[in-house]
Chain A
C-alpha cells in the first residue's frame, strides 16, 4: 500500500490532483465548521461585493452574490453535494454494472446478449435529456439525482468486466474452482471479483469526475438538488444574470467545479497508468 502510494506520487501532476481531491473531501466533510459565514445568511447591504483582492471592504474573501451571501462559504459548502452525489452515484452504478458484467461474462448465454442489447440501448439515448426528463417528473431531490445518475451510467463497468471475465473464465484457477463444485455465486464474488477490481477502481475514479459535471449541469438547469442547499451548479445559474456587472458570482463556483474535476481526472489517469495499462483504451 505504502509502496503503491510512493509510485503514485512520483508523478507530480497526480500528486497535485490528489491534494485537490483531499482538500475538496475535507471541505465537504468539515465545511460547516470552517466557513466564516452562514452560507444562506442574506445581507442586502453587502450584495454583489467583489472579492477581496478587487479592493472591497475586506470581510468577504471571494465577494458576495446578489442576495449578499458570502461566496466563499457557499463554495465550501457546495463541495458537499458535488462530492456526495459524485461518489454515491458511482457506488450505485459500479454495483449494478459489476454484478451485471460478472454474470454476463461468466454465464455468457442469455445474460451476455441481454447486456449487449442494454448497452446499445443506453448508448443510443441522449442521456442528458433523459436524466432531465426523469428529474422533471419524479421531482428533484438529492436522492433522486443520485439514483438517476447511478442507474443510467453503469454500462461501462459491465462491458469491461464482462470482457475480462470472458478471459478469466478459461484460466485454470477458475476452471479448478468450478470442478471442485464451488457455487457460482462463490466463484463470482471470491474468485472473479478480486481480479477485475483494478479495472473497476480505474473506471470509478474517472466516472466520479463525469458525475460531478452531470450533477452541476442538472443543478444549473434547475433540475438538480433543491436550491436551499448551495451547489456549484445553482450558484452559476444565479450568477449568470449578473455576468455583466459582477463576474465573480458565476466564475468562482465554476472554478471550483473545474479544479475538482481536473483533480479527480489526474488521480484517475494515474491510477489507470499504474493499475491497468490495457485500460488506456477505455473511453473516459
Chain B
C-alpha cells in the first residue's frame, strides 16, 4: 500500500510538471506578449526596456525554468493587472467556487442517485426510458444559454431570484442548477448502466437465491459495486465540470475562480491564468488520486492486490 501510494504521488508530480509545460508554452504560442501590455505608440526603446524588465528577452526555455523554480517555492509571479501575487488572487476566490461546486454536486446526487437506481431496477420501463431521455437532454444544454433562460424566467419574469452576484442562498440557486445539469446527466447514465451490470451478476443471483430482500440487494450489493466505475468517470470528468463552472460563473457574475480566469484572459493577465490552471490541475489530480484510493474501501478484493 505504501509503495503504491508513493509511486502514485510521484506520478502525480510528473503529471503536474507536464501540465506546467503545456500551459506555459501554449499561453506563449502567440509569441512575445509585451506587445499586448504596451500601448501601440510605445517606442522601440520602451519595448526593449519592458522586455528586459519582464524577462521576455530571454529564451523561452530559460523563462520556463525560471518560472518553474519560483513556482516550486510557491511564487507564481505577480498579477500584471492587480499587482498582487497571482496565486493569492486565485486562492481568495476559491471559497466561492467550492461553495457553488458543492451545492451543484449535492443537487445532482439528490436527483441522479434515485433516478439511476430506479431506472436500473425497473429496466425498460417507462421510467427507465424517461431517465435515458433526461440524461441525453441534460447533456445537450449549452450551459451559458441555460443560464440566460433561467435568468429570463426567474429574474425577469417571476422576479424570484437575483440574476447575478453572490451573498445569500438565493444567489446560489440558479448557478447551482446550471452546473448540476450536465453532471446529473452523466452520473445518471453511468450509474444506471453500472447498476444494470451489477444486478445481472452472479453474486446478485446468489443473494436472490438466499432470499435477501430486493431492497438490500439493490442498495447494498449492487450500488456498492456500481459505485466504482461511476466514481472513476466522475473523477475523470472533474476537469470538464470545472470548465462548466467557468462559463456559469461568468454569466451569473458570480465572483469565483472561473470568472477571475475569464477576466484574466480578457486582460491578458497570464500569470493569473497560469496560477489558475495549475491550481485546478493540482485539484483535479488530487481528486483522481482520492478516487483511486477509494477503490480499496469500496472493494475489499482490490485492497489485497495492492
The interface of chain A, by Cβ under 8 A from chain B, is 13, 117-118, 120-121, 123-130, 132-134, 136-139, 209, 213, 216-217, 220-221, 223, 233, 236, 240, 243-244, 247, 250-251, 254, 257-258, 261-262, 265-266, 269, 280-281, 283-284
A251 adjacent to B152 (CB under 8 Å): yes
A250 interface neighbour in B132, B148, B229, B247, Cβ under 8 Å = B148
B190 adjacent to A283 (CB under 8 Å): yes
Select from chain A the residue with minimum beta-carbon distance to B31.
Answer: A137
| Complexed CA–CA distance, A244 and B132 (Å) | 34
Say whether, besides A126-B280, A216-B142, A247 and B19 are in contact (CB < 8 Å): no
Select from chain B the residue with minimum beta-carbon distance to A257.
Answer: B142
**B186 surroundings in chain A (CB, below 8 A):** 283-284
Give B14-30 as 1s and 0s: 1 = Cβ < 8 Å from A's Cβ atoms.
Answer: 11101100110011111
| Complexed CA–CA distance, A133 and B141 (Å) | 23
Say whether, besides A138-B30, A236-B144, A243 and B265 are in contact (CB < 8 Å): no
**B276 surroundings in chain A (CB, below 8 A):** 126, 129
**B149 surroundings in chain A (CB, below 8 A):** 251, 254
Say whether, besides A217-B142, A217-B144, A121 and B189 are in contact (CB < 8 Å): no
**B26 surroundings in chain A (CB, below 8 A):** 130, 133-134
B30 adjacent to A130 (CB under 8 Å): no
One of B51-59, B236-244, B298-306 contacting the partner? B236-244
B145 adjacent to A243 (CB under 8 Å): no
A117 adjacent to B15 (CB under 8 Å): yes
The interface of chain B, by Cβ under 8 A from chain A, is 11, 14-16, 18-19, 22-23, 26-30, 33, 132-133, 136-137, 139-145, 148-149, 151-152, 156, 186, 189-190, 193-194, 229, 233, 236-237, 239-240, 242-244, 246-247, 250, 258, 261-262, 265-266, 268, 270, 273, 276-277, 280-281, 284-285, 288
A130 interface neighbour in B11, B140, B277, Cβ under 8 Å = B277
Closest CB-CB distance, A135 to chain B, in whole Å?
A: 9
A262 adjacent to B136 (CB under 8 Å): yes
**B247 surroundings in chain A (CB, below 8 A):** 128, 217, 220-221
- List, sorted by A's number, 27 A–B pairs whose CB atoms are closer than 8 Å: A120-B288, A121-B19, A124-B285, A125-B239, A125-B281, A126-B284, A129-B242, A133-B26, A134-B27, A136-B266, A137-B27, A137-B28, A138-B30, A217-B142, A221-B247, A243-B151, A243-B156, A250-B152, A251-B152, A257-B142, A258-B142, A258-B145, A261-B140, A261-B142, A281-B193, A281-B233, A284-B139
| Complexed CA–CA distance, A213 and B132 (Å) | 20
Say whether, besides A136-B265, A138-B29, A221-B262, A124 and B281 are in contact (CB < 8 Å): yes
